Amino acid sequence: MDFITGETLYIDKPLEWTSFDVVKRVRGVLLHRLHRKKLKVGHAGTLDPLASGVMIVVTGRSTKLIESLQAGVKEYIATIKLGATTPSYDLETEIDATYPTAHITRELIDGALTRFVGRIEQVPPAFSACKVDGKRAYDMARKGKEVDLKPKVLVVDEIEVEEFNPDEMTLRLRIVCSKGTYIRALARDIGEALGSGGHLIGLRRTRVGEVSVDDCLSVDQVVELIRTTDITIPDDQES
């Protein structure tokens, strides 16, 4: 393998790791193996720490492919808790409001989900990396400042109910969508469409473009691959 000319790694990001944690781990092992002080390593499409699944990591000159790789359609398995909201729309923050759920049925859910297929507008979460006046929205939100984010147009190709548990008021969905879709914001909007509230309690990215989670290695497997595989170690190439 030639990590300087460029390689693409498919990694199953674990829960509680940031995308940067994965890149840092891969870069550290590569630098040690290649006996170098620097090497370009990047990723195509950020995953929140509370999400797991497909993460594409590229090295060397393949970092030029990041934009095209992250443009691929994404598939997620999302679990939403209905009847309650949080400021971050997921489990990063505590519940701030609760809502009635007795009226929610599978038929109501099926009808509401049709509104979220196709081209839709979505307001990103305040707890996101979007920039407002040059500042990250999440930095402002965590300081208790009001964040004014504009709606973005995106495309949701498919939403399929995998399971609805009326006792727990949890809804598991398979979602196929375009780059830039915030599944946390979708959980918020679905909760509102059901005349209640909702927040994300589980998220797994199962596909990016043609890359499935079945194609991915764990972080430990990638580390072992780098340490044991035959690697081209040129003396005169720049990273």
Q: Name the residues annotated as catalytic.
A: 48
**CA–CA dist 117, 196 (Å, integer):** 20
**CB 239, CB 39: distance < 8 Å:** yes
Q: How many other CB atoms are found less than 10 A from the CB of residue 64?
A: 12
CA distances from 222 to 12, 207, 217 (A): 10, 18, 6
**CA–CA dist 159, 164 (Å, integer):** 13
Structure tokens at 175: 């979602």
Only one residue has tokens 């859910």, namely: 109
**CA–CA dist 206, 223 (Å, integer):** 21
Nearest partner of 182 among 59, 48, 60, judged by Cα: 48
**CA–CA dist 42, 60 (Å, integer):** 9
One-letter identity of residue 12:
D
Nearest partner of 138 among 57, 16, 48, 66, judged by Cα: 48
One-letter identity of residue 221:
Q
Nearest partner of 41 among 74, 13, 7, 70, judged by Cα: 7
